[in-house]
Amino acid sequence: MKIFCISIYDENYSFFNENNLTPVGLGENHFNKNWINDKFDNDISIKNKNFGEYSFHYRLWKDPSLNTEKHQWIGFCTYRRFWINKSAFSPKNMNELSLSILKEVPDEWNNYDCILAEPINLGKEKFMKLLKNNFSYILKKPSLLINKCTIKDHFNLNHGEFFLNNAIKLLEANEQNKFHNYLNRHEFNPHNLFICKNFHLLDAFYSKIFDWLFKCEEIFKEFNLDTYGKKRIYGFLAERYLPFWFKENSKTLDWPYTYFDTNKIY
């Protein structure tokens, strides 16, 4: 199993490495030569601020020097969200985090193709948060004042309905209705966290996601994306599409992860 740990800080390299994680440094901060990054010939590193971790995913897909076919399981976590053992407790310090981090492939995974982060359930949003995030959307859909959010509502409130609506139109016709139905659910597997059983499944996902995101980029390139909720718009779109695609094209299993910001002192 090879798990890439994506960070925006040049910190904790040894900790990640000692816990069977491959450190990846992205963003504007300087990283020393030990870190893998998103730069290679014909990279999209310049798009990192809008694509987020997908600037590295693109390199993993296209750069022969990062050949991952020898690894049966290939996955991703971040400097503040880690896959953990099912029996693990919520860590309070780095030592406890080290004991909690998943380091070996569980036997339970044998009959699955993809591991997804445990889903979050989208409940009813607080009134003040609704007003703050997207008042115009509340006027269009006042039922949100009393009902739970769907995946679609959650995206539209935080990032704007124009982006999701137009992105869906760029999917193949046979996918559009399925994705619409998925977006009407009340829970999804978040944070672009996943682990694939093999590179062939990962390659199929990359072919699909980048074709879609680059089409979206053509539509959205005239917009100012350097604003709240839109700066990483392509990462946010991928976050909703990723669990849908894997559930449609593979056998998936939900798995626990923990939030622990390794760049903070506890």
What pLDDT digit, counting tens, does each position of 204-254 carry? 999 999 999 999 999 998 888 988 789 999 999 999 999 999 999 999 999
Tokens linked to 101 = 């981090």
Mean pLDDT score of the chain: 92
User: Given this model, what pLDDT does residue 28 score?
Assistant: 87
Among the listed residues 263, 230, 252, 234, the one whose alpha carbon sits nearest the alpha carbon of residue 78: 263
User: Given this model, what pLDDT does residue 227 score?
Assistant: 84
User: Given this model, what pLDDT does residue 218 score?
Assistant: 96
- Residues 171-213 have pLDDT tens digits of 999 999 999 999 999 999 999 999 999 999 999 999 999 999 9
Tokens linked to 153 = 């509502």
Among the listed residues 88, 119, 260, the one whose alpha carbon sits nearest the alpha carbon of residue 191: 119
Give the integer Cα–Cα distance in Å for 26 and 60.
13
- Does 158 or 196 have the greater pLDDT score? 196
User: Given this model, what pLDDT does residue 132 score?
Assistant: 63
Tokens linked to 88 = 């693990």
User: Given this model, what pLDDT does residue 191 score?
Assistant: 98
User: Given this model, what pLDDT does residue 144 score?
Assistant: 67
User: Given this model, what pLDDT does residue 127 score?
Assistant: 55
What's the mean pLDDT in 113-121?
97
Among the listed residues 242, 225, 261, the one whose alpha carbon sits nearest the alpha carbon of residue 49: 225
Whether 131 shows a pLDDT value over 60: the answer reads no
- Does 229 or 99 have the greater pLDDT score? 99
User: Given this model, what pLDDT does residue 19 score?
Assistant: 98
Determine what percent of the chain falls in helix, strand and coil, rounding each to the nearest 5: 45, 15, 40
In the three-class reduction of DSSP (H, G, I as helix; E, B as strand; rest coil), residue 5 is classed as: strand
Contacts 24+ apart (CB under 8 A), 210-216: 210/54, 210/58, 210/61, 212/167, 212/170, 212/171, 212/237, 212/241, 213/51, 213/54, 213/237, 213/238, 215/170, 216/163, 216/166, 216/167, 216/170
Whether 15 shows a pLDDT value over 60: the answer reads yes
User: Given this model, what pLDDT does residue 26 score?
Assistant: 97
Whether 75 shows a pLDDT value over 70: the answer reads yes
Q: Does domain 2-119+189-259 have CATH number 3.30.200?
A: no
Whether 42 shows a pLDDT value over 80: the answer reads yes
Whether 130 shows a pLDDT value over 90: the answer reads no
Q: Is 66 exposed, middle or buried (0-12, 13-18, 19+ CB in 10 A)?
A: middle
pTM, entire model: 0.92
Domain parsing of the chain, residue ranges = 2-119+189-259
What's the mean pLDDT in 44-53?
96
Cα-Cα end-to-end distance for the chain: 29
